[in-house]
Amino acid sequence: MSVTAPARTTEVMITYPAPSLWRLTVVELRKMADTRAGAWLLAITVLLAAAVVVVVTTAGEATDLTFPALLAPTLLPAAVLLPVLGVLSVTGEWSHRTTLTTYALVPRRMRVTAAKVLAALALAALAYAACLAATAAALPFADAGADPWRIPAQFLGRTGLFLVVNVLLGVAFGLALMNSALAVVLYFVLPIGWSILGELVTALHRPAEWLDLSVTSGLLLEPVMTGRDWARLGTSAAVWIVAPFVLGLLRLHRREVK
Amino acid sequence: MIEVAHLTKRYGAQLAVDDVSFTCEPGTVTGFLGPNGAGKSTTMRMICGLTPPTGGHATVAGRPYRRLPNPGREVGLLLDASAQHPGRTGRETLALAAQLLGVPESRVGDLLALVDLPASAARKRVGAYSLGMRQRLGLAQALLGEPRALILDEPANGLDPEGIFWMRGLLRDFADRGGTVLLSSHLLREVEAVADRLVMIGNGRILAQGAKDELLAGAGTRVRALDPGALHRALAAAGLAHTPAGGGALLVDADAEAVGRAAAAAGLVLLELGSRGAHGLEEMFLSLTTTPEGTAR
């Protein structure tokens, strides 16, 4: 009790260390996979990716297939569904009110968020590795083009970044909106909205080029990316990832946990 | 040790918690009593750093909760048993908490046994649990980090009478081994059997607090004599304030001994003499907390 502890105090004061960021990240990864929704989402992602590989390699029209040409479609299921897992990793805590446990056990909320981001990135890395392996395994069975194993290093980097951008988008949406349904719906509707509006309103053509993240992130899968392409990607990422992220962190810092 | 000093929470124009102060000492069970919406849960969430207070502060184990590096090792929380992910199994829920706390996963099995959740139930998803099972799971989670204090919000909700009895034993034992327990309830009966101290709250303000025995004794004495008129005169002569309690009995604002002596001095035959005990406390509690705005959140 008292600040100057008397010598006769027999009780040993043990200070238990805080969980490391590594431990928090492992826990967050586990939380993504150990619920019914999480397990299904992961299973569906794997099945879809496998189906894409099989269909693309065996379908008749796929001639002159190369590693990059097969990798790009294989990545799509993960690029579409892993962000949902990223959304749910953040919003699921609010909708099921497990924040009451999470932020009671780890009061430093920013650390929890950091762990969630790292867990989402780790999941993206795992998915990427799995897609690379699946592509490499399927390529020998395909009607391969000339020099199918030529894999430009920068293409590998860009496709990896493609996954990362999408997963971070999910986490950012989840953070900013803190509501599963809203964040998931918006994540899917926003690109559709852009393309519909972009078609209808000519004045939106140019802004969409710079702000529609589904288009600008798709540039990462193109064979060549110009400096202007990178600027377009950076601009849209700042609007749809960085801004919601900052907004979400501010909200989280103040929000009452009930 | 839990210390609460002048905690206040204002939501817009409404004062949910108003200058609440109390202390929970090691080795004691403190019952935090109040009707629904009195501010119990808000106070508990403020102690745990989940709700930022408008004013005042609280410490657990000598530090503000949010400054505890690994709070689950110092204080076990059960703030809402239904706040668990329904798609996760009971065992997995505990295993996650064990991993966060840094306690061996073998403790999960020990605690499932302690709270009497069989392995078959632990394998089920929490969504399929009854409220009573969720309370047991929540209690297991609270105890997982071998804490020295427990903060439990309405832990008896959803438990059957046997379960309530079992939990009383568990909390009493925890306190007797030097632990600090703060548990809330809207039912006096539920906590009076286990609490050493009571803190009563209504409309965000503390109405009464102290040792349970003192509070119970302070609730007055019920007395009935063969000759009610003579009893009335004897009590008045002794300077003991009293009110009619129906059935010819009187409710005296004094302990049983003082009332008995006053009656003996007048040579009266008594038919009934006893502390109002919990009954009196409950009435006091009801009268103090029943106000027109008592239904506010």
pLDDT in tens, A221-256: 888 889 999 999 999 999 999 999 999 999 999 899
Whether the predicted pLDDT of A149 surpasses 90: no
Average pLDDT of the segment spanning A112-141:
93
Instruction: Name the residue ranges covered by the structural domains of chain A.
Output: 21-254
Whether the predicted pLDDT of A101 surpasses 80: yes
To the nearest whole Å, the CA of B207 is away from the closest chain A CA by 25
Whether the predicted pLDDT of A4 surpasses 50: no
Q: Which of B1, B50, B91, B154 to mutate to test the interface with A (most CBs of A within 10 A)?
A: B50
Whether the predicted pLDDT of B222 surpasses 90: no
| Cβ–Cβ gap A106/B50 under 8 Å | no
Residues of B in contact with A17 (CB under 8 A): 69-70, 102
Q: Which of B9, B100, B146, B153 to mutate to test the interface with A (most CBs of A within 10 A)?
A: B100
Exposure string of A159-192, with b = 16+ CB inside 10 Å and e = fewer, is: bbebbbbbbbbbbbbbbbbbbbeebbebbeebee
Q: How confident is the model at residue A1 (pLDDT cuts 50, 70, 90)?
A: very low
Q: How confident is the model at residue A112 (pLDDT cuts 50, 70, 90)?
A: very high
| CATH 3.40.50.2300 corresponds to the domain B2-209 | no
Average pLDDT of the segment spanning A34-57:
91
Looking at residue B194, what DSSP letter applies? T
Residues of B in contact with A31 (CB under 8 A): 96
Cα torsion through A69, A129, A34, A117, rounded to 10: -90
To the nearest whole Å, the CA of B39 is away from the closest chain A CA by 13
Query: Given this model, what pLDDT does residue B131 score?
Result: 94
Residues of B in contact with A18 (CB under 8 A): 69-70
What predicted TM-score, i.e. pTM, was given to this entire model? 0.85
Average pLDDT of the segment spanning B150-173:
94
| Cβ–Cβ gap B99/A27 under 8 Å | yes
Q: For residue A41, how far is the Cα from the chain centroid?
A: 13
Residues of A in contact with B87 (CB under 8 A): 35-38
Average pLDDT of the segment spanning A132-154:
84
If one compares B281 and A185, the residue with the highest pLDDT of the two is A185
Q: How confident is the model at residue B290 (pLDDT cuts 50, 70, 90)?
A: low
Looking at residue B63, what DSSP letter applies? B
Q: What is the pLDDT of residues B105-160, one digit of tens each?
A: 999 999 999 999 999 999 999 999 999 999 999 999 999 999 999 999 999 999 99
ipTM for the predicted complex? 0.85
Q: How confident is the model at residue B297 (pLDDT cuts 50, 70, 90)?
A: very low
Question: Among partner residues B52, B88, B102, which is closest to A256 by beta-carbon distance?
Answer: B52
Q: Who's near A38: CB < 8 A, 6+ residues apart?
A: A31, A32, A85, A88, B87
Place of tokens 């064990």: B98
Q: Does B37 touch chain A (CB under 8 A)?
A: no
Whether the predicted pLDDT of B278 surpasses 70: no
Which residue, among A111, A34, A170, has the nearest Cα to B85 in the 3D structure? Answer: A34
Residues of A in contact with B62 (CB under 8 A): 1
Q: How confident is the model at residue B208 (pLDDT cuts 50, 70, 90)?
A: confident
Residue B16 near residue B9 (C-beta atoms within 8 A): yes
Question: Among partner residues B1, B70, B97, which is closest to A18 by beta-carbon distance?
Answer: B70
Question: Among partner residues A16, A34, A257, which is closest to B70 by beta-carbon distance?
Answer: A16
To the nearest whole Å, the CA of A160 is away from the closest chain B CA by 30
Looking at residue B125, what DSSP letter applies? B
Q: How confident is the model at residue B288 (pLDDT cuts 50, 70, 90)?
A: low
Instruction: Enter the tokens of residue B69.
Output: 């590096």
Q: How confident is the model at residue B289 (pLDDT cuts 50, 70, 90)?
A: low
Q: Does B86 touch chain A (CB under 8 A)?
A: yes
Average pLDDT of the segment spanning A15-43:
92
Q: What is the pLDDT of residues A192-212, one digit of tens each?
A: 888 888 778 887 778 888 888
Question: Among partner residues A19, A31, A36, which is closest to B125 by beta-carbon distance?
Answer: A36
Q: How confident is the model at residue B294 (pLDDT cuts 50, 70, 90)?
A: very low
Which residue, among B136, B40, B145, has the nearest Cα to A19 in the 3D structure? Answer: B145
Q: For residue A125, how far is the Cα from the chain centroid?
A: 10
Residues of A in contact with B65 (CB under 8 A): 107
Question: Among partner residues A30, A96, A103, which is closest to B86 by beta-carbon distance?
Answer: A96
The DSSP secondary structure of chain A, one letter per residue, reads --SS--TT--S--PPPPPPPHHHHHHHHHHHHHSSHHHHHHHHHHHHHHHHHHHHHHHSTT--SB-HHHHHHHHHHHHHHHHHHHHHHHHHHHHHTTTHHHHHHH---HHHHHHHHHHHHHHHHHHHHHHHHHHHHHHGGGS-B-SSTT---HHHHHHHHHHHHHHHHHHHHHHHHH--HHHHHHHHHHHHHHHHHHHHH-GGGHHHHHHH-HHHHHHGGGSS---HHHHHHHHHHHIIIIIHHHHHHHHHHHHPPP-
Query: Given this model, what pLDDT does residue A9 score?
Result: 39
Cβ pairs A/B, distance under 8 A: 91
Q: How many whole angstroms separate alpha carbon A90 and alpha carbon A112? A: 10
Whether the predicted pLDDT of A184 surpasses 70: yes
CB-neighbour burial class of residue B106 (10 A; exposed 0-12, middle 13-18, buried 19+): exposed
In whole numbers, what is the pLDDT of chain B averaged over residues?
90
Q: Does B100 touch chain A (CB under 8 A)?
A: yes
| Cβ–Cβ gap B99/A30 under 8 Å | yes
Locate the chain B residue with the closest alpha carbon to A20: B100
Q: What is the pLDDT of residues B33-82, one digit of tens each?
A: 988 888 999 999 999 999 999 999 999 999 999 999 999 999 999 999 99
Instruction: Name the residue ranges covered by the structural domains of chain B.
Output: 2-209, 220-275
Query: Given this model, what pLDDT does residue B291 score?
Result: 54
Question: Distances in Å between the alpha carbon of B49 and those of A15, A95, A108, B257?
Answer: 19, 20, 10, 47
Q: How many whole angstroms separate alpha carbon A254 and alpha carbon A251? A: 5
Residues of B in contact with A15 (CB under 8 A): 69
Record: fold of B220-275: Alpha-Beta Plaits (3.30.70)
Q: What is the pLDDT of residues B82-105, one digit of tens each?
A: 999 999 999 999 999 999 999 999
Query: Given this model, what pLDDT does residue A208 score?
Result: 82
Q: How confident is the model at residue B213 (pLDDT cuts 50, 70, 90)?
A: confident
Query: Given this model, what pLDDT does residue B273 score?
Result: 87
Question: Among partner residues B1, B73, B85, which is closest to A16 by beta-carbon distance?
Answer: B73
| Cβ–Cβ gap B45/A107 under 8 Å | no
Cα torsion through A132, A134, A135, A138, rounded to 10: 160
CB neighbourhood size of B54 (10 A): 15
Place of tokens 């124009």: B13
Query: Given this model, what pLDDT does residue B204 score?
Result: 92
Residues of A in contact with B103 (CB under 8 A): none
| Cβ–Cβ gap B50/A36 under 8 Å | no
Query: Given this model, what pLDDT does residue A146 score?
Result: 74
Q: Does B291 touch chain A (CB under 8 A)?
A: no
Locate the chain B residue with the closest alpha carbon to A102: B97
Q: How confident is the model at residue B247 (pLDDT cuts 50, 70, 90)?
A: confident
Q: How confident is the model at residue B25 (pLDDT cuts 50, 70, 90)?
A: very high
Q: How confident is the model at residue B169 (pLDDT cuts 50, 70, 90)?
A: very high
To the nearest whole Å, the CA of A33 is away from the closest chain B CA by 10
Question: Distances in Å between the alpha carbon of A249 and those of A100, A106, A113, A176, A252?
Answer: 17, 16, 8, 8, 5
Query: Given this model, what pLDDT does residue A60 score?
Result: 61
Question: Distances in Å between the alpha carbon of A233 and those of A68, A171, A192, A227?
Answer: 21, 18, 18, 10
Q: Does B85 touch chain A (CB under 8 A)?
A: yes
| Residues 151-190 in B contacting A (C-alpha not used; CB under 8 Å) | none
Q: For residue A191, how far is the Cα from the chain centroid?
A: 16
